[in-house]
């Protein structure tokens, strides 16, 4: 359902997603379908937040009385200093992907980790006793690192271009850090059991570094198959895009905002329909 299909009134509750360069997002389709299925007078829209406007955006959420928002790239860490409260998980990893408003107070949550865990379980993959390589050092990478640590990964490695951010991300899961140099990255890819990509752009990784005993989970969902997935599949690796992570983290956000159980099947259908149209 599109927002224009909803009979919006002065009583309609407004939620949305805040990010930068998010024209591709399928979150509005997913959430508006869920609101319709549950008979809720809510509407979900997209908010592009210009560079340097994180504080103003947070104050806008508060001042305009939004029920809450999702937060995506690159704002998951930028919004943190301007919130009134954080969940234990969000505070621990230093990242939020969901904000809930109550009595003009804004609380930050992170549902990325539980969304990723459920998505991996759908393809029968668990972090326990695995060497997990996480590509990237943003908010999603932090959530992935913390989740893998909590669920018993044998070893976690963070590979990122920015060393400082990589070390900050690694700290939430006692992970090792490698650079994106060819030598270090090749070794990290070849020795990993599970590779989680949390870089929002295509990565140039040699297809031959992958193998058939690996799982490659790309958190991107803006295309059906990313370049990383295509390369890994050629070598026999099991691959998946981020559509299920989006689904499950979105379902958790929906329940935080509304108090209703998320209609998972409806949300999945809306996401798949949107992805198929690309």
Evaluate whether 98 touches 162 at the Cβ level (below 8 Å). Answer: no
Strands 98-102 and 105-109: antiparallel
From 46, 73, 76, 234, the catalytic residue: 76
Could you tell me which residues are beta bridge partners of residue 135? 159, 197
158's tokens: 């963070």
Could you tell me which residues are beta bridge partners of residue 105? 102
d(CA 113, CA 140): 8
Could you tell me which residues are beta bridge partners of residue 215? 194, 238
d(CA 68, CA 234): 42
Q: In what helix (H) or strand (E) does residue 61 lie, and over which residues does it extend?
A: helix 54-63
Does 76 qualify as catalytic in the annotation? yes
Angle made by CA atoms 134, 138, 141, in degrees to the nearest 5: 30
Could you tell me which residues are beta bridge partners of residue 155? 131
Residue corresponding to tokens 């509304």? 258
Q: How many C-beta atoms lie closer than 10 Å to residue 239's C-beta?
A: 22
Tell me the catalytic residues.
Answer: 76
């Amino acid at each position: 359902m599109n927002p224009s299909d909803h009979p919006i009134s002065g009583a309609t509750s407004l939620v949305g997603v805040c990010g930068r360069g998010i024209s591709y997002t399928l979150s509005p389709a997913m959430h508006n379908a869920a609101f319709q299925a549950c008979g809720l007078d809510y509407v979900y829209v997209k908010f592009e937040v210009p560079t340097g406007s994180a504080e103003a955006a947070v104050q806008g959420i508060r001042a305009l009385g939004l029920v809450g928002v999702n937060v995506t790239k690159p704002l998951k860490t930028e919004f943190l200093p301007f919130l009134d409260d954080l969940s234990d998980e969000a505070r621990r990893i230093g990242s939020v992907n969901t904000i809930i408003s109550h009595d003009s107070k804004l609380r930050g949550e992170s549902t990325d980790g539980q969304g990723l865990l459920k998505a991996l379980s759908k393809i029968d993959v668990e972090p326990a006793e695995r060497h997990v390589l996480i590509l990237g050092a943003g908010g999603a990478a932090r959530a992935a690192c913390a989740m893998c640590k909590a669920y018993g990964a044998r070893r976690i490695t963070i590979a990122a271009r920015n060393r400082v951010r990589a070390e900050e991300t690694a700290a939430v899961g006692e992970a090792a850090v490698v650079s994106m140099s060819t030598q270090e990255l090749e070794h990290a890819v070849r020795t990993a059991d599970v590779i989680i990509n949390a870089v929002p752009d295509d990565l140039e990784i040699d297809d031959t570094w992958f193998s058939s005993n690996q799982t490659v989970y790309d958190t991107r969902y803006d295309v059906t198959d990313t370049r990383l997935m295509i390369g890994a599949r050629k070598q026999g690796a099991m691959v998946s895009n981020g559509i299920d992570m989006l689904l499950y983290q979105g379902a958790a956000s929906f329940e935080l905002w509304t108090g209703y159980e998320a209609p998972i099947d409806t949300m999945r259908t809306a996401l798949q329909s949107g992805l198929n149209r690309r």
